[in-house]
Amino acid sequence: MKKIIFTGGSGKFGKIFKKFNLNKKNIYYPSSITFDITNPKKMEKFIKKIKPKFIIHAAAISRPMDLHEKNIQKSVSINIIGTSNIVNLCQKYRIKLIYFSTNYVYPSKKGNYKEHHPLLPFNNYAWSKLGGECAAQMLKNSLILRICMTEKPFLYNSAYTNLKTNFMFHEDLARVFFKLINKKGIINVGGPAQSVYDFAKKNNKKIKKKILKKTKNSLPFNSTMNTERFKKFL
């Protein structure tokens, strides 16, 4: 059985992924101390011990979003340089890399973005994830997943009616993940394109409507992706 290292096992998706794969003894979830992505020597020591065929790289700084504006050094060190460190080790030990990116790398204006469409990250978080993508793209044996997912149940009592996205729950991706693991290139991963309100209402009939006002730091109004390639593998 091919061994897998999963980074970010203590994160929100990582915890869900573990629950879905409790019977798989070939998946290792090292702590951020054991597998410190900013410390190539520590990572290499663990890789030599485990001898994995895959690294699923989900570890990253995401929230709060303003951290990437206030502490650029930390964002770059973990999301860009940390990913580059993993890419170098994957190249050295011939390991397949699955990298978790975001739909925010797209311009977030017209929506329905396909994998080959031009990119223009929405904020510094998205720039940091695109930086990781650049490293992953240099590795031929890699898969980049541009993902749009959120927690279940929906975290808020109200949701935007004029903000369109491809939200899916963490559980939805965990359920189908191994249908993607042997693919290469880039795949947009998410649910149907719809407003955040319409998505949330399906799971909470009491959800209230709200309108997103356009400001300098507002969320993107339409970050929807075309997920046809993703659907083909399900």
Question: Domains along the chain?
Answer: 4-154+167-192+227-232 (3.40.50.720)
Question: How many C-alpha atoms does 151 have within 13 Å on its Cβ side?
Answer: 7
Q: Is the pLDDT of residue 226 over 90?
A: yes
Residue 40: per-residue pLDDT = 98
Q: 65 vs 7, 48, 78, 103, 160, CA distance in Å?
A: 20, 35, 14, 14, 18
Strand ranges inside the chain, DSSP E: 4-7, 27-28, 54-57, 96-102, 142-147, 149-150, 158-160, 164-165, 168-169, 185-189, 194-195, 208-210
Question: How many C-alpha atoms does 175 have within 13 Å on its Cβ side?
Answer: 7
Mean pLDDT of 119-138: 96
Q: Is the pLDDT of residue 194 over 90?
A: yes
pLDDT higher for 219 or 158?
A: 158
Q: 64 vs 19, 61, 67, 125, 207, CA distance in Å?
A: 25, 8, 6, 9, 23
Q: Which residue shows structure tokens 């570890």?
A: 59
Tell me, rounded to whole angstroms, the distance of Cα 9 from its chain centroid.
13
Residue 63: per-residue pLDDT = 86
- Predicted TM-score of the model (pTM): 0.97
Strand 194-195 with 164-165, pairing: antiparallel
Is residue 82 a contact partner of residue 42, using CB atoms and an 8 Å limit? no
Tell me the C-alpha distance between 123 and 126, whole Å.
5
pLDDT higher for 1 or 81?
A: 81
Residue 215: per-residue pLDDT = 75
Tell me the C-alpha distance between 141 and 60, whole Å.
21
Q: Which residues pair with 189 in a beta bridge?
A: 147
pLDDT tens for each residue of 24-83: 999 999 999 999 999 999 999 999 999 999 999 999 999 888 999 999 999 999 999 999
